[in-house]
Amino acid sequence: MTIVCPNCNHSNPDGAVQCEACYTPLPATSHCPNCGATVQSDAAFCGQCGFNLHSTAVPAAATVVATVAPDIPVEVPALVTPDPIPDPMLELLQPNAFGIDPGVSPLPPTEMAAPPVVPPVMPNPVEAEITPPPAPPVVIPEEPEEAIPTAPPEPAPAPVQVVEEPAPTPAPQPVVAPPSPARTQLQQITALLVHVQSDREIELPPSLSVIHIGKPNDRIPPDIDVSGFSNSEIVSRIHADIRMEGDSHYIEDVGSSNGTYINNLPLLPGNRHRLRPGDRISLGKGDLMTFLFKLA
């Protein structure tokens, strides 16, 4: 038996904890005590034989036997004190830390070397410069100023007449035709269920967010009543729901007796599957009540 992933419908081996394809955590499963089929742990009925899983008794809890470990003496090795690590800063404070031989100074300890004698620098002799006497000023006789002819006054300019230009004629505006409603309004997508056995189409009500599929009952009246189709006896009164979330449609089994199958794979109760155009929905086993999901 395999476990179908509720997210990607990948078939996983029995006992798997997460999906091998998308790594989604898989629901816990158990085995039907009647037929041995794999069912979800919180399922009310078996999807293969319809057995009531709540009627079985819960097995007694296994007795836990505590084990006592024998007393084993543990030997602890003696602690070994490592050698102290020398501090490099203390070594630099020691005298002659770099091992340089200072040598013997040629001078006595009480005498100092005399500074070298620098001979005085004599200034260069400055030669006296003889400045010649200034030359007498040259007198230039003044010339009489010539009379500058005065230009006659210019006549006043004639007044300029401003000619007004005619206003430009505005260009005719192009007439824009109103957009057709067929181009601006989006067509509404309609979801349909096509009954395979009778080729009858059932439109999903767009005003309902949850559409109940089943047969007449006192608890939840069905929005899609399949009692008029053939082989309707395999369908539970409250069988499955289709939920609309935006543009997406999701189907889930709500605890039917004979189960719901998507593309011949069982849909576990409590899990939901996102419907895509062309998905095959079977209510019950044997592919006797089958619908095709379609968008128009």
Alpha helices in 146-270 (DSSP H): 181-184
- Three-class DSSP labels, 79-146: CCCCCCCCCHHHHHCCCCCCCCCCCCCCCCCCCCCCCCCCCCCCCCCCCCCCCCCCCCCCCCCCCCCC
φ, ψ of residue 245 to 5 degrees: the values are: -125, 95
Distance CA 235, CA 184 (A): 44
Please state the rounded mean pLDDT for residues 255-281.
93
At 282 the pLDDT is 94
Please state the rounded mean pLDDT for residues 276-286.
93
Q: Please name the residue that has the structure tokens 């709500």.
A: 254
At 23 the pLDDT is 79
| Residues facing 253 on adjacent strands | 240
| pLDDT tens digits, 86-132 | 666 666 666 665 665 555 555 555 555 556 666 666 656 555 556 66
| pLDDT tens digits, 227-246 | 999 999 999 999 999 999 98
Cα→Cα distances 193→101, 118, 200, Å = 106, 120, 8
| pLDDT tens digits, 13-31 | 777 777 878 877 877 777 7
φ, ψ of residue 13 to 5 degrees: the values are: -65, 155
At 278 the pLDDT is 94
pLDDT band with cut points at 50, 70 and 90 for residue 62: very low
Which pair of tokens denotes residue 127?
A: 């030669």
Comparing 193 with 68, which gets the higher pLDDT?
193
Task: Quote the pTM value.
Answer: 0.38
Distance CA 198, CA 291 (A): 10
| DSSP of 25-57 | BPPPEEE-TTT--EEETT-SB-TTT--BGGGSP
